[in-house]
Structure 1
């Protein structure tokens, strides 16, 4: 899985966590407004998360690959579908489904990556 996709999935997961920066101060330096979160980490990666209704727009820059990426997430109850594209042409699709305290995640990308994994608030991913 490419770094941009990992960063996008992690940033979406971080939206649901309260006081993330207080718990993990080295993760990223973030600025937040009512519906926009913009972050930069110590490696030079940058991303923003904009919420409009039940749609989440993610944009970012991956320092290691020197590429820009964008992802759109659409939420329907406990199910979230996402699609993304990077400046090098890689594209990805997937979904997250919440079942109680567990999240079932599945994605595939044009770069050949695909995975299905489960995350729990108690045991992690």
Structure 2
């Protein structure tokens, strides 16, 4: 779950900061109007597709050899997400923007829970 969540959060960041897709070593990405598709050096792959205020993420986690999908719905400063992996693990969570800070919480059926805060100035 943690790898899938990192990939999905990273994918959202790439949508927000397109310049990151050009930094060597992070991921090799292809972009169209609504779709961003990336593969990293470790063999993980993911895509981010936007449709209005909904973001669809799909990916492949190389280490766990599993596919995953996540849907994010944006309501103002809140983004709710739900996801499922090919091994049956499911997760839910939200991101809340407060100024330049994002508060993130998630919980998964595999027993993982987490809360972390990210800032544009100090990172996560």
Q: TM-score higher than 0.5 here?
A: yes
Q: CA deviation at 1:7?
A: 1.2
What does residue 96 of structure 2 align with? Answer: 97
Q: Is the 8 A contact 2:15 2:36 kept in 1?
A: no
Q: SS where residue 80 of structure 2 aligns?
A: strand
Looking at structure 1, the residues matched to 6 and 122 of structure 2 have their Cα atoms a distance apart, in angstroms, of: 19
**Helix, strand or coil for the counterpart of 2:55?**
strand
Other-structure match for 2:87: 88
| Pairwise CA RMSD | 1.0
Paired residue for 1:69? 68
**Deviating 4+ runs (over 4 angstroms):** none
The 3-state SS of whatever aligns with 1:107 is: strand
What TM-score, normalized to structure 2?
0.95
User: Gapped runs of 5+ residues in structure 2?
Assistant: none
Tell me the TM-score normalised to structure 1 length: 0.95
Runs of at least 5 residues in structure 1 that lack an aligned partner in the other structure: none
Equivalenced residues, count: 124
